[in-house]
C-alpha cells in the first residue's frame, strides 16, 4: 500500500509539472493528500469487481490496473491513451480493467454504478461495484436517487464518499445541513461506516468490511472516507477559500509520511525498502512520459469515429 501511494503521489506531481510545461492541457484535478483512500480501499476489491470514479480519478484508474503509460498518453491527448486521447484527465476509461470511467459531471458516475450493479444482480454474478465520489456529490439529486434505488432493489454497490471537506471552494458546513454524511446515507436503510481517510490501514479495513458485506448479502454499503486534498481543487483554482495554516495542519497527517514512519519504527520497513519503492516509481513515470511523448495525434480523417450519423442524413 505504501508503494501504491507513492506511485500515485509521484505521478500526480509529474502531471502538475507537465501541466506547467503545457504538455497536459484542459482541467487537471490532483489527488495529492488523498492517496490513502484509493490505495487502501481498492486492495479490498477483486479483479472482476467494477470501479466508477469522479473527475479526480487518476489514482483509481492506476490502482485498478490501467497502465500508467495509457493514462499519461490520455493526459497528453494522444490516441494511444486509454480513451484514444478524446477524454483527457477527467475521462480515463478501461473496460478491460473494469474501470468504467472518471466522470466530469458531479455525481454523474453514481447512477452508472447502480446500473452496473443491477446488471450483475440480474446475471447472478457475485461482484461488487465500487463507486467513488466527493462530498459535493451528496448534494446532487442523482446521489439520492441512486442510493434509494440501490437500497430498494438490494444492489451490490459499495458507495465510497471521499469527503475532503470542500465541494470545489465551498466548505462542508456551507453545503450540507447535516455534515455527517453517514447519517444521510443511513436514512436509506443501508449499512454505513466512517473511516479515517488519512490512514491507509483504516481505509483498507473499512473497504474490506464493506466489500465483504456487499458480496455476502447483495446489499449496498456506504463508507465516508474523511480525507483532505493538499493541493487546490484544480490547476485553475486560486484557492481563496481556505488558509495556508489549515492546509499545513492537514499536511502533518500526510498518509505516506505516516506509514513510512510507522514502518521504520516497527521494523517492517528499511531505508533501502523505501529507496527501492521510490526508484521503481520514478522508473515507471519516466517510461509513461516517454510513451506519451512518442504517442501520435488522432488524424483528421478519424474525427468522426464513434459519432452517430446526423439525423438530417437519415431522413429521406
Please give the residue range of the domain that contains residue 155: 2-300
pLDDT tens, 202-217?
A: 999 999 999 999 999 9
Q: Is residue 310 part of a domain?
A: no
Q: Is residue 143 part of a domain?
A: yes
CATH number at residue 89: 3.40.50.970
CA distance 74 to 88: 5
CA distance 238 to 214: 40
Q: Is residue 315 part of a domain?
A: no
**Three-class HEC string of the chain:** CHHHHHHHHHHHHHHHHHHHCCCCCCCCCCCCCCHHHHHHHHHHCCCCCEEECCCCCHHHHHHHCCCHHHHHHHHHCCCCCCCCCCCHHHCCCEHHHCECCCCCCCCCHHHHHHHHHHHHHHCCCCCCEEEEEEHHHHHCHHHHHHHHHHHHHCCCEEEEEEECCEECCEEHHHHCCCCCHHHHHHCCCCEEEEEECCCHHHHHHHHHHHHHHHHHHCCCEEEEEECCCCCCCCCCCCCCCCCHHHHHHHHCCCHHHHHHHHHHHHCCCCHHHHHHHHHHHHHHHHHHHHHHHHCCCCCHHHCCCCCCCCHHHHCC
Q: Is residue 307 part of a domain?
A: no
**Domain count for the chain:** 1
pTM value is 0.94
pLDDT of residue 13: 98
CA distance 267 to 93: 39
Which of 315, 74, 70, 33 is CA-nearest to residue 162?
33
Q: Is residue 309 part of a domain?
A: no
Residue 109 near residue 103 (C-beta atoms within 8 A):
yes
Q: Is residue 306 part of a domain?
A: no
pLDDT of residue 117: 98
Rounded to the nearest integer, the mean pLDDT of the chain is 95
pLDDT tens, 222-250?
A: 999 999 999 999 998 999 999 999 999 99
Residue 102 near residue 92 (C-beta atoms within 8 A):
yes
pLDDT score of 109 more than 80: yes
Query: What percentage of the chain exceeds 90 in pLDDT?
Result: 92
Q: Is residue 308 part of a domain?
A: no
pLDDT tens, 95-104?
A: 999 999 999 9
Q: Is residue 311 part of a domain?
A: no
CA distance 100 to 58: 13
Amino acid at each position: 500500500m505504501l508503494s501504491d501511494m507513492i506511485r500515485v503521489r509521484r505521478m500526480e506531481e509529474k502531471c502538475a509539472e507537465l501541466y506547467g510545461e503545457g504538455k497536459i492541457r484542459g482541467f487537471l484535478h490532483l489527488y495529492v493528500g488523498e492517496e490513502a483512500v484509493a490505495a487502501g480501499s481498492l486492495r479490498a476489491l477483486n479483479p472482476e469487481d467494477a470501479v466508477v470514479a469522479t473527475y479526480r480519478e487518476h489514482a483509481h484508474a492506476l490502482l485498478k490496473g490501467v497502465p500508467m503509460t495509457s493514462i499519461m498518453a490520455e493526459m497528453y491527448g494522444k490516441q494511444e491513451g486509454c480513451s484514444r486521447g478524446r477524454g483527457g484527465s477527467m475521462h480515463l476509461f478501461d473496460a478491460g480493467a473494469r474501470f468504467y470511467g472518471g466522470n466530469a459531471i458531479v455525481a454523474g458516475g453514481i447512477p452508472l454504478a447502480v446500473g452496473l450493479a443491477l446488471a450483475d444482480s440480474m446475471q447472478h454474478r457475485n461482484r461488487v461495484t465500487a463507486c467513488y465520489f466527493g462530498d459535493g456529490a451528496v448534494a446532487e439529486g442523482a446521489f439520492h436517487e441512486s442510493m434509494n434505488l440501490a437500497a430498494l432493489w438490494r444492489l451490490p454497490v459499495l458507495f465510497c464518499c471521499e469527503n475532503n471537506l470542500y465541494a470545489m471552494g465551498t466548505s462542508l458546513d456551507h453545503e450540507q445541513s447535516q455534515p455527517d454524511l453517514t447519517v444521510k446515507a443511513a436514512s436509506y436503510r443501508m449499512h454505513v461506516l466512517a473511516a479515517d481517510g488519512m490512514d491507509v490501514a483504516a481505509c483498507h479495513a473499512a473497504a474490506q468490511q464493506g466489500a465483504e458485506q456487499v458480496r455476502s448479502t447483495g446489499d449496498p454499503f456506504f463508507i465516508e472516507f474523511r480525507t483532505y486534498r493538499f493541493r487546490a481543487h484544480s490547476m485553475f483554482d486560486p484557492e481563496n477559500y481556505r488558509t495556508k495554516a489549515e492546509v499545513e495542519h492537514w499536511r502533518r497527517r500526510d498518509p505516506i509520511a505516516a506509514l513510512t514512519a510507522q514502518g521504520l519504527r516497527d521494523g517492517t520497513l528499511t531505508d533501502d525498502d523505501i529507496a527501492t519503492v521510490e526508484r521503481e516509481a520514478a522508473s515507471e513515470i519516466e517510461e509513461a512520459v516517454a510513451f506519451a511523448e512518442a504517442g501520435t495525434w488522432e488524424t483528421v480523417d478519424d474525427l468522426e469515429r464513434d459519432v452517430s450519423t446526423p439525423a438530417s442524413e437519415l431522413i429521406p
